[in-house]
Structure 1
Amino acid sequence: MLKTTTTVKAKDTSSAMEKVITELGEDCVILSTKKKNGMIEMTASNQMKYKSAVKKRYNKEKFSNIYNLKSGKLKINKENIKKVEHKTDITRNINLDTINKIIKQETSSLLEKLDKKLENVYLTDYKNVSKNIIFSYYLKLKELGFSSKVLDKYHEALDKEESFEVSKYKLYRKLSELMAAPYPERIFNSKLIMVTGPSGSGKTAMAAKITSTIVDKYGRNNIVLAELCRNSNTATENLKSYARLLNIPITNSLQNGDLSDTMLLNDNARIVVDLAGNIETGNKVIEELEERHGDKNICSILCIQSGSSPEMIESTLRKVKAQRPIVALTKSDECNISAATLSHLAEKKAKIGLVSGTKSIVDSLLFTDANILAKFMKENF
């Protein structure tokens, strides 16, 4: 391969890096990166003089002193803290725990700044990053989109004696055991199934799919598809179409009292309710019914669209007031369920019980458990 310097153009930094590596090899150095006319221009070289200059600028000892990475944890030397404690009259009055707290706050701030600096750094050769195999596995999973919080918590699943693929699947198993709804079958055992979620999250289709599954399991008797919280005298056309297709009754005239009476008077009745509108409106219905009956005979399904941002997930989970909502990941055929989405759901201890993968309402609902979720992660990440 010729020793040369080149400039490439690409739509993004990742594509530019691929072109550079193809032309100059993995040991090249990036000299500059800039955005021009909507394109990324990257200049790189594999000439020795540039590579030597980069080595001189990089002081390994100084960099390693910023913080000590050990399985993603910050190592604090308490002996140094004790020396500081006796240095002045002021620090004599501050206990060791207080100093520890201050140092952790300062170092956390430093790490956040450092993370931002490293956001656009791309690794081209993992084997030269670290002799610590676990740390290399950690970086690969981070690149897939898993959050630092999740990896820090479950990094013990990574085993240096095993291949990356085996270690990765062990991590998926750990996450799946945490996230899988423990009793998704309570959907079938509930008399009242309330489907809630943000506008546009697929509540109406999810209500129809759950109804279709119940019809397949128990038949059409004693099941009603209902709609509440919508400012209209008639149910939506979509819900009407689903009801006609399933050949079951539909109503939007039920009130909370009617729902309570149905639950108390008819042991076999099941009502699947599409809580149209926003989450706050649906919360009032759910809270009132759960206050009367508990959640033994009531099951709340929280629809979250696949590919939702961490901010959207956090906002949705914060707003919902149901006691034990089962998360349904919707529109997975339109939006990819990313590692970032699953990471944020795991951080918030959300329980996933359903995945909706197609627009069809028949045979399109996946009831999950730890095994199914782990298999799903393996096939998609």
Structure 2
Amino acid sequence: MATITVSASDTAAAMDEIFQKLGDDAMILETANRNGKIEMVATNDAAQRVKVRPSKVAKKAPAFTELFDQKLVQEPIEDMPQGDANITADFALKALAKSQSEDQSSPSDMAAMRKDMAMLKSMLTGMMITDENGLSEKLGHSTTIKLRQAGFSPEVVNELQHAFEGQTYEKARLSFMNELARQLIRPNTEDLFEARLICVVGSSGSGKTTLATKIAAHCKETGIANNMILGTVTSERQAGDTIKDHARLMNMPSVDFPLAELPIRVKETSRRMIMDVSAQPDQAVAAIRKATAALDPARVAVVQAIPGGSSSVMIAHQCALYKQLSPTIALTKLDECEATPPELCSLLTHGNGIGLLTGTKSIVGGIAIATDAILAQYLKENC
């Protein structure tokens, strides 16, 4: 009689080594997991209990979801929850642990359970948890997965699923883009040009000064209004000269004054005022709300400048700052950087609708009214 101890990376390798050394009569005496490896003690004494079979002739391992059915669900288990058609994996593991600790368990049952647990461990070792970016083309063939792989958020894809469900991918993609464009657009954007007071807000460097100038140029070019004032309001009296220079080029008056004076100044003139608001968001919101109360909500429009290359996190943050004013979103600097799916999804989730599209160049004719068709075409070409 010979007794040996082998150590291997998994159960199958250990059993192969035992079979090679002890032959068909090999029996397992003990199995343990030490330092990340399977360690087995075996003998060729026929009095021992578990016969070893070489892994190369072993039957095909059952699927992961079948193991509990084979060993646990076939026989009634004491204390199993009543009324459950399927035993949960959590309960099965607890039942397995309990059965291993019971003295009345037969040696053959214990050995079979150890074998099943070793098999489960082997299967779990090979399992991988991944997001949609880790799926192969074969596994990720659905439209939903492909849209998420393109960068669109799960929330937006699920929300718009009704628009493409049941279609082939190419048709579904076009349907999704069209529906996304429709929901991103702010309706009746043209109405903002009729407002008596147009306030342009946004973070520093977002292009709001240029945007205010372009709005004034659009009003003058299209004949909407000629009697206009282009100006800047600031929390401190430190306005730059950019607005003044632009106003001089378009032959219109310019002003700059403290933010606190906005509600008074707007009532003192009959001219249309297009103002670049340079102040902290909370101060800007408070002043614009006072000016709105002094005039009439229908006569005040707020435009928020958001650069096309802003991250989705930045967009969510910026939209939250001016949410109370329900501003029309103007995507600026689109000739420098494009808006990608994550940013557009953030605009849909957090914004109040895209109304204007513009770049950094060409003051005259440099602004476009956002429409379903324009935005859908942009999405199809860039997303």
Could you tell me the TM-score, scaled by structure 1's length?
Answer: 0.63
Task: Give the 4+ runs in structure 1 shifted more than 4 A.
Answer: 56-62, 79-84
The letter of the residue matching 2:308 is S
The Cα of 1:220 is off from its aligned counterpart by: 6.9
1:80–1:285 distance in 2 versus 1, CA, 3 Å: farther
The Cα of 1:227 is off from its aligned counterpart by: 0.4
Identity within the alignment, %: 27
**Deviation string, structure 1 residues 114-168 (Cα, Å, up to 9, x no partner):** xx952595445x2x216xx6xx211221122110100011122224443x23211
Q: Partner of 2:297: helix, strand, or coil?
A: coil
Give the counterpart of 1:158 among 139, 161, 164.
164
Q: Distance in 1 between matches of 2:248 and 2:359?
A: 22
Mapping of 1:68-79 within 5 angstroms? none
Give the counterpart of 2:199 among 184, 189, 194.
194
Q: Distance in 1 between matches of 2:310 and 2:333?
A: 11
- Partner of 2:48 in structure 1? none
- Partner of 1:129 in structure 2? 139
Task: Say yes or no: does 1:251 pair with 2:235.
Answer: no
Mapping of 1:155-234 within 5 angstroms? 155-162=161-168, 164-218=169-223, 221-232=226-237
1:123–1:270 distance in 2 versus 1, CA, 3 Å: same
Q: Distance in 2 between matches of 1:354 and 1:57?
A: 61
Q: Distance in 2 between matches of 1:58 and 1:242?
A: 76
The letter of the residue matching 2:252 is I
Q: Partner of 2:257: helix, strand, or coil?
A: coil
Q: Partner of 1:150: helix, strand, or coil?
A: helix
Q: Distance in 1 between matches of 2:322 and 2:315?
A: 11
Give the counterpart of 1:315 among 286, 310, 317.
317
Larger radius of gyration: 2
Mapping of 1:219-298 within 5 angstroms? 221-232=226-237, 235-253=239-257, 255-262=261-268, 266=270, 269-298=271-300
Unaligned runs of 5+ in 2: 1-59, 67-82, 92-127
How many residue pairs get aligned? The number is: 268
- Partner of 2:26 in structure 1? none
Q: Distance in 2 between matches of 1:276 and 1:118?
A: 45
Q: Distance in 2 between matches of 1:244 and 1:376?
A: 35
- Partner of 1:334 in structure 2? 336
Q: Distance in 2 between matches of 1:166 and 1:120?
A: 21
CA contact (8 A) 1:178 1:349 kept: no
CA contact (8 A) 2:197 2:266 kept: no
Give the counterpart of 1:325 among 316, 324, 327.
327
Q: Distance in 2 between matches of 1:258 and 1:330?
A: 30
CA contact (8 A) 1:330 1:355 kept: yes
- Partner of 1:22 in structure 2? none
User: Which gives a bigger RCO, structure 1 or 2 (Cα 8 Å, sep 6+)?
Assistant: 1
CA contact (8 A) 2:235 2:280 kept: no
Q: Distance in 2 between matches of 1:117 and 1:357?
A: 42
Q: Distance in 1 between matches of 2:335 and 2:156?
A: 26
Could you tell me the TM-score, scaled by structure 2's length?
Answer: 0.63
The letter of the residue matching 1:243 is A
Question: What RMSD, in angstroms, separates the aligned Cα atoms of the two structures?
Answer: 3.1
Q: Distance in 2 between matches of 1:205 and 1:81?
A: 66
Q: Distance in 2 between matches of 1:378 and 1:60?
A: 42
The letter of the residue matching 1:253 is F
With 283-292 and 189-198 compared, the bigger mean Cα shift is at: 283-292
The letter of the residue matching 2:196 is K
Q: Distance in 1 between matches of 2:293 and 2:369?
A: 27
